[in-house]
Structure 1
Amino acid sequence: MHHDSTHRARWLVVLAAAATALLIASGWRPYDRATWLMEVLPVIVALPLLAATWRRYPLTPLLYALIFLHAGVLMLGGAYSYARVPLGFELQEMLQLSRNPYDKIGHFFQGFVPALIAREILLRGDHVRGRRMLAFLVTCIVLAISATYEFIEWGAALALGQGADEFLGTQGDPWDTQSDMFFALLGALAAQLTLAGLHDRQLARLRRKADAGLC
């Protein structure tokens, strides 16, 4: 029992330290300081929240790892601004696209990771029992989150004017909002189709530990 708890604590400390180091590195000399702050704000909020809840409401290892990966995507986008991330230019050249597609990676993760967060909360709270209804509600939650983010981008555009261009990353695409939400939808569906089984096994293990008083 003690060994398992210690191992989990060490693993989470490593992830938190790595995320903090990457956050500092991304903010050292970002392309645009205001854009960086807006892009990494979810990371700044999530880190202390996860640190405060890991004992009384531990998440599955899968979810912790995916949150870390999502944070990396956000911090890279914040450091360069989404339209200027080097990886995006490589993908643009490889796929012969008309624009840097890195922001679509960000929106895919905006669907992929929140889908599993919503799934975990719904299942652990016994809020949903039917699998089809679970998938439907998880997808609806992801689309609501994506729409809310687009509202935030809209507000930023109104408040900052041309200064919001780096945050929006539309690159002249009139359908950017719709395609952002579509990629979030793809992420939500992909997460549920590929990781539901692994997620269920880890949730079952977490329940057994909670029942035995190990969490």
Structure 2
Amino acid sequence: MNPLINAEIGMLYTTDSRFLAKIKYTRNPDSYTFIFSSPPESPLPKQVYLMPGEAPNDYTSFLCTTTGVFNEFYVPQTDRTWYLTETETLDLPDYRTEFRIDLSFPLTIVPQGTSKNTTISVVDISVGGLKFITDQEFQVDKTFSFIFTKGAEPVFITALILKRYPARTPGVYCYGCRFLDLAQQAESVLRGFIFKENLIQSKSHRRL
């Protein structure tokens, strides 16, 4: 069997967002197979982020646990040997309990410990949290607050930064966060906004 038939292109990053390698990979039900054109010069870290594709504005990434075991596979069609290693996926595509939408918009926040406003760019959002990019470094486990104004009415929300994700562009930092103790009114506004935006995106996709 040719392991390259269904292979896709992806980028590997360390958990502190350093670029490791451009690879091919295949998707399995709960894992990924990484395919290298040559053996890595150094052992892979125990955990790495896989960013599918090469689009600079796509911040999708999945945390994988590596085994360090490589199998050689000669592919006659390419007249070369490829190096395959299996991984366990810690972030499955549907790992969030709440439905999320990919959506880009600026958001003004007030980080914990300061009264100074900072602008970030949201790249996806759900009722449970959001992912954002910024040109500033933030500390994981810190909180920030903001007034969400894109829904039916303004609501105050506090969020906890859970982890840092890789970003393909130098000087850009990507973070995932969880909303804390959402009031019923805020949750209702968020659900209404996400439902509306999902309908708009679905209609737009059907027209393509």
For the criterion TM > 0.5, the same-fold answer is no
TM-score under structure 1 length normalisation: 0.22
Kindly indicate whether structure 1 or structure 2 has the higher relative contact order, using CA contacts under 8 Å at least 6 residues apart. Answer: 1
- Which structure has the highest strand share of the two? 2
Structure with the greater alpha carbon radius of gyration: 2
TM-score under structure 2 length normalisation: 0.23
